[in-house]
Amino acid sequence: MQQEYVDIASSLSPVDGVTQPDAMALFSYDTSLCTKEAPVTAAFIDYGDSGIWGGNTEEFLTGKIDVITFIQRSLDNSKQKAINDCLDKLTTLPQGIADAEAALEKSKAAGAADVVIQSQENALALLKLKLEMYQQYCGDL
């Protein structure tokens, strides 16, 4: 099974020497026509605020900012997004835990099936673990 996955992934790779199925041609483009090269990877872009990326990318592609400025703005944007996400979790997880505890008590009082109780207990434990993690790693923000 793993080898089948690797074979499929390799067949879709734009790496020299690896052939691409004809059906994939519609999803490809001729890189020789490109006038700029992406200075950062897609994973890096995906984490930042997409509203900021559009403006930064346009300024970079039109020559208004250089690649160093583009990368620095991108780093700042992704860092701020991570901070905002942490602060959001620190704010919302306690209420989520309280809601999960109330739902668990309600299920117990209603005589819910053991599998339901166990599932809710597991979900509650996960929420508590997440909060502990966010407190440990985001507490100084």
**The pLDDT of residue 21 is above 80:** no
The mean pLDDT value for 34-45 works out to 56
pLDDT at 97: 98
Is 11:19 a contact under the CB 8 Å cutoff?
A: yes
Among the listed residues 140, 44, 134, the one whose alpha carbon sits nearest the alpha carbon of residue 88: 134
Provide the mean pLDDT of the chain.
80
17 sits in the region (left: phi over 0; alpha: psi -120 to 50; else beta) called left
**What is the Cα–Cα distance from 140 to 118, expressed in whole angstroms?**
34
d(CA 131, CA 140): 14
pTM of the full structure: 0.55
| Per-residue model confidence as pLDDT tens digits over 68-104 | 898 888 888 888 888 888 999 999 999 999 999 999 9
Residue 107: its pLDDT value, please? 97
